[in-house]
Amino acid sequence: MHPGRQLGVLGLIFVVLYLLVFFAGDAKGSFTDRLQPKLGLDLRGGTQATYIASQAGGTPTTESMEQARTIIENRVNALGVSEAEVVVQGKNTIVVSLAGKADDQLKDLAQAANMRFRLLTGTTPDVSASALNPASPSPSVAASGVAPSAAPSGAAKPSAGASAPSITTGPSAGTGGQGGGEAVPSATPSANPSPAASAAAPAATPSASASAAPVPASVQEQRAAVAKKVGAALWAQAEKLTAPVDLSSDPKAGLAYKAFNALSPAEVAALTPQMQFNVPTISCDQLDKRPNGSIDDANSQVVACYSGQAKVLLDQAKVVGTDISSASPQLDQTNGQWVVSLDFTGDGQKKWADLTRVAFNATSSDPCYTAVQALYGSAEHCAVAVVLDKEILSAPQIQAVLTGSSQITGSFTVDSAKQLADQLKFGAIPVTFEAGPAQTISATLGLQQLEAGLIAAAIGMALVAIYAFFYYRLLGSVIFLSLLLSGLLTFGALVFLGRTIGYTLTLAGIAGFIVSLGVAADSFVIYFERLKDEIHEGRTPRSAVPRAWHRARRTIISANTITIMCAVVLYIVSIGAVQGFAFAMGLATVLDLIVVFLFRHPIMTMFANTKAFMSPRVSGLGRVLRRNPTEESVSSRVKEA
Amino acid sequence: MASAGLASRLYAGDANINIVGRRKMWFTIAAALVLISIGSFLIRGFELGIEFAGGTSFSVPAAAGTKTLTQDEVSSAVEKAVKQAAPEAAITTTQKVGDGKDASFTVRASALSTDEAKEAKAAIVNDLGVDASKISDDQVSAAWGGQVTRQAVIGLIVFLVLVVAYLIIRFEVRMAVAALASLLFDLVMTAGVYSLVGFEVTPSTVIGFLTILGYSLYDVVVVFDKVQENTRGITAGSTRTYAEATNLAVNQTLMRSLNTGLVALLPVGGLLFIGAGLLGAGTLKDLGLVLFVGMGFGVLSSILFAAPVLSALKDQEPKIKAHNARVLARRSKGSDDVVRDRTRPANATASDVPAMAGGTTPRPGARPAARRNANRPGGPKR
């Protein structure tokens, strides 16, 4: 490529980068504001939040705190490349510090610690909208209002059958296997299989009596208040419902329950699960906004939303998060799909086997069977919902009686499998967190250290420049200029990345970039020494420059490939501060390559065509040039050429 | 030629220092150093920073009576108090938490026993005049979890496997092994210095340590590139053994290695000077120190260790073995050759080795890949 064109490309990169710096993302404020890189916790301070852990029956163990710390750290790191700090303080407090204002991000970090496994016993679409506006019934309304006992409705399924998750025996377990559907171990086709499903009367309506837990007085009060709000008559009417109101036969039937749609999420939470499920005007939105812990009670039936589209009625939690011993994402070797592998504690395994037996052996007359049918459109076995706090993480169909390690399959990606495994593990920690207020924290190092770092950078650069000028004379200016260019490119990239992907610059990062500038000067030395070799061998600068370039290029590319490889591997594999570092290293190396190819080489090519290049005073190569005639025999030179 | 000083001979790449020939000596020194380092890992272990080992955290209210304390005041008062309670203890970070009246400072220090913490607390109260009931101390866990280390180690292993694969493709198996050996040597040496001297290991140290990975290989690649060039088609001639050709390459790249080393070490030196000299401690010093040590070893080992290991490995190869024997046999017949070879290696470069000679060199601008293939029919490999 023509040298001028290469410089042109470099200029274009510059213009684009700095246009991005000034105008892209949410660039705002004054000229200097737009040039601010996102500084890290140590230099700028940030936000700190404390989470106090509590555990039923005493203080949490050191191990569970460390486990919780790791999971919270993973969540923090998932927020972006920001070097956050997560420590356990004292016996039961986790302190999270993030750079900048991050109150929103800190809110949900320690959330969701209660995991429940519940049999899915009923489902009904969220018809609140159409129940309130019967004038414009959508096609799905006609087929909706599916009672647990009603015929399966195709329109009610939220997702295609292919993506419906399922649980199978893990590869390590001896029994069951992937083909559990064919090899039913103890199928009793028509019998009512287990006590767990005994709430299923012939009509299979969820009955209020199924809720085993006595209702606390406070809830009684809340219910009374709600009854007053919606009106006693309506309350009684709603309480009498034994199945979701069927809007298909009478589209206007839902209108009567309008008052329920105005209830606050907290008030909805106070209703009985049956009312929450049966009253058509209670929306998924209301259910999802119930306070945390609303459906934590393992001994009662609960209602939750599946993918925000269907309300599902869930049985008592037979297995809880603490029954899990481990969970991990795995790549299924046979079909190349991601699955989540689950292992249970000794006691938990027994409970899990019982629960899966009920789900697996259920027949078409069981409410759970029809519920699955309605939800997924097809069913062979009942589903168990994995509920974390208020959210159904997954509602896999049970493919076997699971007596060993289990796998949750479904259309997982690496990330979603990892996330679910993470949440399962988190659910396994028997602690709950209470978030304290987020507070601002000052920088630990502050401007003094930042200034010192910049002075160090200046000193380092000055030393390199002095050395370059001393050794390579005027060619040193090319080194100096390209270092300056590298620096400007790096700075621009930092500002831009800080704004877009949240890359924060810590003092260690600054030091890393200083070092990388020095290493960038290395590729120059390689090039120049090659050039010297070529001239030493008797070439004219005009022919030596391209030759030296081709040879040095090979070396520079090899060496930089290794550095980039190092950065990429560390970035993918590692977490936390190491990941941030790897990012910086990769970035600096790529920018170095850009400068080498688009600046040094074209500049040198142009330089080689000038007369001054040969002058010893101008280029450091002169000494070699002068030595040539005395050292090398001219005749041998001629012979070779 | 004899009149030229070492510096100018270095400059021209014909210093003719016998490095590879003394490989037994380098190996002995290297083995001794590695043994000392490993012994030190086992006996002395490492001085782990608070970020790894956990520590004690003090919370000090920002208001002392009517006046408001500054971050520096609190930081130095706590440092003094902690040092008084336990001489070898230190503080790492000081942060102001919250704003206004309820603001407080959190100072993190090395792990202290209950008694030491109590003593330090009393000293802080004395010094700053704050309400004793408002100062609290707490144990804090490591901020750098075991998982971070584990993932970093996994990353390191994956990287080593990939880099060996890359070096095998780019160079050859024996060069990959030699490069890996030299990299491991650098890492062990750097860790050894930390263990022996008892420098504190902080997250910055670990990060700097990982930087050495790329840098150390960078140096080795530069040297091996030249070795590969010099030994291309070496078995076709019989003037030079593999070890001699390697030594020549080392001499030719000596200035380059010293230059790249120096250029990379200069900014690191700047960091170290500012970090340790002016600020006393902290991120800059930690990073500067580990890089200085590691890069220093990187430069030395690429010259004194990687190339000798490579020649030792290559000498085991049957083809090279036969070639070396032939060269030595020819040399014992006509000793004239040897003298010339020993005294004028730089000129030999220009006229004897086919790869370097003008006759076989392609025109300027030829692609290196093509040249490599065209030149290698009788080469030592493939």
User: Inter-chain contact A519–B147, Cβ cutoff 8 Å?
Assistant: no
CATH (residue range A46-111+436-441): 3.30.70.3400
Residues of A in contact with B156 (CB under 8 A): 570
> Which residue of chain A comes nearest to B154, CA vs CA?
A573
Residues of B in contact with A440 (CB under 8 A): 97-99
Six-digit token string for A334: 């046979």
Give residue A592's pLDDT: 85
Give residue B35's pLDDT: 93
pLDDT category, A197, cuts 50, 70, 90?
very low
SS (H, E, C) A367-409: HHHHHHHHHHCCCCCCEEEEEECCEEEECCEECCCCCCCEEEE
Q: Could you give phi then psi for residue A308, rounded to 5 degrees?
A: 65, 10
Mutate to test the interface with B, among A51, A482, A569 (most CBs of B within 10 A): A569
What is the spatial distance between Cα A626 and Cα A635, in angstroms, rounded to a whole number?
17
User: Inter-chain contact A526–B221, Cβ cutoff 8 Å?
Assistant: no
Q: What is the mean pLDDT of chain A?
A: 72
User: Inter-chain contact B269–A463, Cβ cutoff 8 Å?
Assistant: yes
Q: Three-state DSSP class for A48? A: strand
What is the spatial distance between Cα A474 and Cα A479, in angstroms, rounded to a whole number?
9
Q: What is the mean pLDDT of residues A629-633?
A: 42
Instruction: Select from A510, A430, A341, A484 the least CA-distant residue to A57.
Output: A430
Cα-only R_g, chain A: 34
> Which residue of chain A comes nearest to B136, CA vs CA?
A90
Q: Which residue has the tokens 């390459």?
A: B249
> Which residue of chain A comes nearest to B274, CA vs CA?
A456
User: Inter-chain contact B351–A559, Cβ cutoff 8 Å?
Assistant: no
Instruction: Compute the count of residue pairs across chains A and B with CB atoms less than 8 Å apart.
Output: 280
Give residue B33's pLDDT: 93
The residues in B 117-176 lying below 8 A from A, measured between CB atoms, are: 138-148, 151-152, 154-156, 158-159, 162-163, 166, 170
> Which residue of chain B comes nearest to A510, CA vs CA?
B284
Residue A514 has its nearest CB partner, among B8, B141, B267, at: B267
What is the spatial distance between Cα A504 and Cα A40, in angstroms, rounded to a whole number?
5
Alpha helices in chain B (DSSP H): 6-12, 23-43, 50-53, 71-85, 114-128, 146-170, 173-197, 203-231, 242-272, 283-301, 307-314, 318-333, 335-343, 345-351, 368-374
Strand partners, A339: A330
Are the C-beta atoms of residues B216 and B178 closer than 8 Å to each other? no
DSSP assignment, residue A55?
A: B
Give residue B279's pLDDT: 67
What is the spatial distance between Cα B291 and Cα B298, in angstroms, rounded to a whole number?
10
Comparing A565 with A154, which gets the higher pLDDT? Answer: A565
Comparing A65 with A620, which gets the higher pLDDT? Answer: A65
User: Inter-chain contact A529–B207, Cβ cutoff 8 Å?
Assistant: no
Give residue B7's pLDDT: 67
User: Inter-chain contact B282–A641, Cβ cutoff 8 Å?
Assistant: no
Say whether pLDDT at A186 is over 80: no
User: Inter-chain contact A515–B99, Cβ cutoff 8 Å?
Assistant: no
The residues in B 188-247 lying below 8 A from A, measured between CB atoms, are: 203-204, 206-207, 210-211, 213-215, 217-218, 221-222, 225
Q: Three-state DSSP class for A147? A: coil
Are the C-beta atoms of residues B141 and B54 closer than 8 Å to each other? yes
Give residue B34's pLDDT: 93
Mutate to test the interface with B, among A473, A529, A593 (most CBs of B within 10 A): A529
Interval A225-240: pLDDT, tens = 888 888 888 888 887 7
Ordered by where they begin, the domains of chain B are 10-45+146-351 (1.20.1640.10), 55-140 (3.30.70.260)
Give residue B186's pLDDT: 92
Q: What is the mean pLDDT of residues A175-194?
A: 32
Sign of CA dihedral A73, A74, A75, A76: positive
Least confident segment among A45-49, A311-315, B116-120, B221-225: A45-49
Instruction: Select from B87, B88, B96 the least CA-distant residue to B49.
Output: B88
Least confident segment among A79-88, A536-545, A546-555, B207-216: A79-88
What is the spatial distance between Cα A115 and Cα A421, in angstroms, rounded to a whole number?
12
Q: Could you give phi then psi for residue A166, rounded to 5 degrees?
A: -145, 160
Q: Which residues of chain B have pLDDT under 50?
A: 1-3, 336-382
With b for 16 or more beta-carbon neighbours within 10 A and e for fewer, the B332-355 pattern comes to eeeeebeeebeebbbbbbbbbbeb
Greatest mean pLDDT range, A294-308, A509-523, B310-324: B310-324
- A115-428 topology per CATH: Gyrase A; domain 2 (3.30.1360)
Give residue A462's pLDDT: 85
Residues of A in contact with B104 (CB under 8 A): none
Residues of B in contact with A512 (CB under 8 A): 207, 211, 287
A79 CA to centre of own chain: 7
Give residue B342's pLDDT: 43
Are the C-beta atoms of residues A482 and A598 closer than 8 Å to each other? no
Are the C-beta atoms of residues A577 and B178 closer than 8 Å to each other? no
Give residue A208's pLDDT: 40
What is the spatial distance between Cα A307 and Cα A337, in angstroms, rounded to a whole number?
22
Instruction: Select from A518, A478, A520, A497 the least CA-distant residue to A608.
Output: A478
The residues in B 11-70 lying below 8 A from A, measured between CB atoms, are: 11-13, 57
Residues of A in contact with B260 (CB under 8 A): 522, 525-526
Say whether pLDDT at A581 is over 90: no
Longest dimension (CA), chain B: 97
Residues of B in contact with A640 (CB under 8 A): 350-351, 357-359
Are the C-beta atoms of residues A391 and A385 closer than 8 Å to each other? no
**CA distance, residue B357 to nearest chain A CA (Å):** 7
Q: Three-state DSSP class for A121? A: strand
Comparing A65 with B37, which gets the higher pLDDT? Answer: B37
Mutate to test the interface with B, among A440, A578, A579 (most CBs of B within 10 A): A578
Interval A378-389: pLDDT, tens = 777 888 888 876
Are the C-beta atoms of residues A126 and A310 closer than 8 Å to each other? yes
Are the C-beta atoms of residues A354 and A341 closer than 8 Å to each other? no
Interval A132-163: pLDDT, tens = 766 544 444 333 333 333 333 333 333 333 34
pLDDT category, A293, cuts 50, 70, 90?
low
Give residue A604's pLDDT: 83
Q: What is the mean pLDDT of residues A234-252?
A: 77
A57 burial via Cβ count (<10 Å: 0-12, 13-18, 19+): exposed
Q: What is the mean pLDDT of residues A46-52?
A: 79
> Which residue of chain B comes nearest to A545, CA vs CA?
B364
Give residue A617's pLDDT: 59
Q: What is the mean pLDDT of residues A393-421?
A: 78
User: Inter-chain contact B11–A623, Cβ cutoff 8 Å?
Assistant: yes
Q: Which residues are CB-neighbours of A30 under 8 A, at least 6 positions away?
A: none
User: Inter-chain contact A526–B222, Cβ cutoff 8 Å?
Assistant: yes
Sign of CA dihedral A4, A7, A9, A14: negative
Strand partners, A154: none
Comparing B270 with A191, which gets the higher pLDDT? Answer: B270
What is the spatial distance between Cα A473 and Cα A470, in angstroms, rounded to a whole number?
6
Residue A467 has its nearest CB partner, among B144, B266, B275, at: B266
CATH (residue range A3-38+443-640): 1.20.1640.10
> Which residue of chain B comes nearest to A547, CA vs CA?
B364
> Which residue of chain A comes nearest to B222, CA vs CA?
A555
Contact status of B364 with chain A (Cβ, < 8 Å): yes
Strand partners, B136: B59
Give residue A195's pLDDT: 36
Parse chain A into domains and list their residue ranges. Answer: 3-38+443-640, 46-111+436-441, 115-428
User: Inter-chain contact A508–B283, Cβ cutoff 8 Å?
Assistant: yes
Least confident segment among A511-525, A584-598, B330-344: B330-344
CA angle B311, B317, B322 (to 5 degrees): 100
Greatest mean pLDDT range, A109-113, A204-208, A302-306, B140-144: A302-306
Task: Say whether pTM exceeds 0.80.
Answer: no
Six-digit token string for A296: 């934590």
Least confident segment among A476-485, A601-610, B32-41, B361-370: B361-370
What is the spatial distance between Cα B94 and Cα B77, in angstroms, rounded to a whole number?
11
Contact status of B94 with chain A (Cβ, < 8 Å): yes
**CA distance, residue B91 to nearest chain A CA (Å):** 11
Q: Which residues are CB-neighbours of A249 under 8 A, at least 6 positions away?
A: none
User: Inter-chain contact B263–A521, Cβ cutoff 8 Å?
Assistant: yes
Residues of B in contact with A557 (CB under 8 A): none
The residues in B 299-338 lying below 8 A from A, measured between CB atoms, are: none
**CA distance, residue B274 to nearest chain A CA (Å):** 6
User: Inter-chain contact B287–A508, Cβ cutoff 8 Å?
Assistant: yes
Give residue A188's pLDDT: 30
**CA distance, residue A104 to nearest chain B CA (Å):** 17
Interval A3-32: pLDDT, tens = 788 888 889 998 988 888 888 766 667 777
Residue B350 has its nearest CB partner, among A87, A563, A632, at: A632
User: Inter-chain contact A449–B283, Cβ cutoff 8 Å?
Assistant: yes
Give residue A576's pLDDT: 65
Neighbours of A173 (CB within 10 A): 17
Give residue B178's pLDDT: 92
Say whether pLDDT at A294 is over 80: no
Question: A469: part of which helix (H) or strand (E)?
Answer: helix A446-472
What is the spatial distance between Cα B353 and Cα B309, in angstroms, rounded to a whole number?
22
User: Inter-chain contact B274–A563, Cβ cutoff 8 Å?
Assistant: no
**CA distance, residue A98 to nearest chain B CA (Å):** 13
Residue B145 has its nearest CB partner, among A73, A452, A569, at: A73
Instruction: Select from B338, B258, B322, B334 the least CA-distant residue to B296.
Output: B258
What is the spatial distance between Cα A20 and Cα A493, in angstroms, rounded to a whole number?
9
Question: A226: part of which helix (H) or strand (E)?
Answer: helix A217-230
User: Inter-chain contact B141–A69, Cβ cutoff 8 Å?
Assistant: yes
Are the C-beta atoms of residues B208 and B275 closer than 8 Å to each other? no
Say whether pLDDT at A191 is over 50: no
User: Inter-chain contact A456–B274, Cβ cutoff 8 Å?
Assistant: yes
Strand partners, A118: A317, A385
User: Inter-chain contact A525–B154, Cβ cutoff 8 Å?
Assistant: no
Give residue B323's pLDDT: 86
Six-digit token string for A172: 């390590």
What is the spatial distance between Cα B130 and Cα B124, in angstroms, rounded to a whole number?
8
Neighbours of A378 (CB within 10 A): 14
Say whether pLDDT at A606 is over 80: yes
> Which residue of chain B comes nearest to A543, CA vs CA?
B364
Distance separating the N- and C-terminal Cα atoms of chain B: 39
